[in-house]
Structure 1
Amino acid sequence: MKRILFLIIRLLYRIPGWLLKIRSYNKHIDETTFEERFDFGQKMIRKINSKSRVRIHSFGQENLPAEQGYLIAPNHQGLFDALILFETHDKPFKAIVKKELMSVFVLGNVLKMLQFEAMDRENLRASMKVIKKATQEMSEGRNYVIFPEGTRCRQQNQMLEFKGGTFKTVIDAKKPIVPVALIDCYKVFDNNTIAPVDAQIHYLKPIFYDEYKDMNSTEIAHYVQECIEKCIAENENRF
C-alpha cells in the first residue's frame, strides 16, 4: 500500500490527463486501433514503473517467437506481474482476466480500453465464448497472456498448481507457448515499504506445437510449470 500511495504522489501531475485519455478511448473505442490503445497503455505503465523504485531485470526476450500469435504463460505473484510484462514485452498482447477486475476503480477502465477478455469462472458458457474468441485471435496473430495458476500465489516465489484448461486456447490455435518466470515480483506491493527492490522476468524458450501436440493439457501444464520452477530455483538469489 505504501508504494501505491508513493506512486500516486509522484505521478499526481499526470494522473488527470491519463484518466481523461482512457475515458476518451473507451468512449470512442471503435474509432481507434488496438495497437494505438496498447501503445498508450504501455507508455503509461512504463512511466509508472520508472517512478516505482523497482529495478527490473529482464532476460530472454530473444526467445520470443518472431511470428506473432503465441501464449505467454507466467507464474502469478501479484499486482506487479502485469506491469513488468508491459515493461519488457514490446509487442502488443491481450489477456484473459477475472471478471471481478472489470469493476475495480480505474483498473476496470484500463482493461476495457485494452479490450482484455473478462472470464466469469462460474459461467461455463460465457467462459467457453472467451476461450473461443482468444483461440481465434491467437490463430490470427494476437499474443495472449494467461496465468496458468488462475489466481496469484501468496507464498513468495512458490507456485500453485498450473491448470490444464489454461492451454486450451493455444492447443486449438496450434501456436507456441512461452513460459515466463517471474521472480520477486511479490516484493513490489506485498512488502509494505517504498525501499528499492529488484524484480526479475525470464522469457524461457518457446514450446512449439510440434513439441506438445502429443501431450494432453494437463501434461502441458506440468511441463510448463517445471520449466518455470527450474528457472526460479536457478535465479532466485541472483540479486
Structure 2
Amino acid sequence: MRSLLCILLIILSNIYSLIFLIKYSYLKKYASKDKQVQYSYKSLQKLTRALLFCAGIKLNVKGKENIPKNQTVLFVANHKSYFDIPILVSIIDIPMAFIGKIQLKKTPVISFWMKKINCIFMDRDDIRQSLKSINEGIEQIKNGQSLLIFPEGTRIIEEELGEFKKGSLKLASKTNVPIIPIYIENAHRILEKQFPWVKSTKVNVNVGSPVVIEELDEENKKNLAKYIKSKVEELKI
C-alpha cells in the first residue's frame, strides 16, 4: 500500500510542478528575483513534506531554534541518504540552495526544482569545475543566499562520519557567515538499506548552535573542516 501511495505521489508531484510552473511564469513578470526564489522554495517545501508523509517518514527534530530567521548562513550536514535534502528542506524555513552532484542535472523533476531555488551543480571528477562551483557558492552567499553542503561529498551509510572535504568549507571561511552544523540519523534506513523499496522510518535531526568563524582560535580556523566535523559528531543523538 505504501509503495502505491509513493507511485501516486510521483505522479502528483509532476502535476504539482506543472501547476507551479504556470504560477511561476506569471510571478516572473512582476516579482523580484528574491521573491521568485522565496515562492519556489516554499512551494518545494510543501512538496517535500507531502513526500515524507507519503513515505511514512517521521521526523524528530531538535535544536530548530538554532536556525536564524533573517541571516545568511551555511548549513553543514552529514550525508546518509537521497532523502537528506527533502528532510532538511521540510524543516528549514529560510530559503536555501544546495550544492548537488552534476548527475542530478539529468533528472527532470529534481533538476527543475534545483534550478528554481538557485542550486549549484558540481562535477566532483573535474577539479576546475568543482572550484568554479565553490566560487559560485561564495558569490551566492555574499548576495544573501543561504547554502546547504554535505562536506563528506557522498552518502556514508556507516555510523562513522566520512572525511570532511576542506574545499567545501571555503564557502564559510571566504564569507564569514555562521555555520549551522546538522546531524541526521537513520535516514539511510528509508531507502538505501532495501533499495529500491521505501521503508517507513523515524529519522532524528539535531541542529547545533551557530559556529562563528571570527570567534574561533587560529588552530580551529586553520583546520576548519576538522573542527566542523567534530561539531557535527557532537550532535549524534
TM norm. shorter chain > 0.5: yes
Question: Structure 1 segments of 4 or more deviating over 6 A?
Answer: 25-29
Q: Secondary structure at the match of 1:173?
A: coil
The alpha-carbon deviation at position 30 of structure 1 amounts to: 5.3
* Other-structure match for 1:196: 200
Amino acid in the other structure paired with 2:42:
D
Amino acid in the other structure paired with 1:148:
P
The alpha-carbon deviation at position 131 of structure 1 amounts to: 1.8
Against the structure 1 CA distance between its residues 207 and 28, is the aligned structure 2 distance closer, same or farther, given a 3 Å change threshold?
same
Against the structure 1 CA distance between its residues 83 and 118, is the aligned structure 2 distance closer, same or farther, given a 3 Å change threshold?
same
Q: Secondary structure at the match of 1:38?
A: helix
* Other-structure match for 2:175: 173
Range with bigger deviation, 26-35 or 103-112: 26-35
Aligned residues: 230
* Other-structure match for 1:64: 67
* Other-structure match for 1:229: 233
The whole-number CA distance in structure 2 between the counterparts of 1:100 and 1:56 is 28
Q: TM-score, normalised by structure 2?
A: 0.85
Residues 1:161 and 2:179 are matched in the alignment: no
Amino acid in the other structure paired with 2:117:
L
The whole-number CA distance in structure 2 between the counterparts of 1:209 and 1:227 is 13
| Residue pair 1:72, 1:177 contacting (<8 A) in 2 also | yes
The whole-number CA distance in structure 2 between the counterparts of 1:64 and 1:58 is 12
The whole-number CA distance in structure 2 between the counterparts of 1:190 and 1:230 is 24
Amino acid in the other structure paired with 1:101:
L
> Cα deviation per residue 1:196-224 (whole Å; 9 max; x = unaligned)?
32101111011002123734766111111
| Residue pair 1:45, 1:87 contacting (<8 A) in 2 also | yes
Amino acid in the other structure paired with 1:82:
I
Against the structure 1 CA distance between its residues 124 and 191, is the aligned structure 2 distance closer, same or farther, given a 3 Å change threshold?
closer
Q: TM-score, normalised by structure 1?
A: 0.85
Match among 180, 187, 209 for residue 205 of structure 1 = 209
Aligned-pair identity in percent equals 24
| Residue pair 2:182, 2:235 contacting (<8 A) in 1 also | no
- Give the alignment of 1:137-156 within 5 angstroms: 137-155=140-158
CA RMSD between the two structures: 2.6
Against the structure 1 CA distance between its residues 194 and 126, is the aligned structure 2 distance closer, same or farther, given a 3 Å change threshold?
closer
Match among 18, 21, 32 for residue 20 of structure 1 = 18
In the alignment, structure 1 segments of 5+ residues that lack a partner are none
> Cα deviation per residue 1:30-83 (whole Å; 9 max; x = unaligned)?
546111111111111111112111110111111123442111000000111001
Q: Secondary structure at the match of 1:127?
A: helix
Amino acid in the other structure paired with 2:13:
I
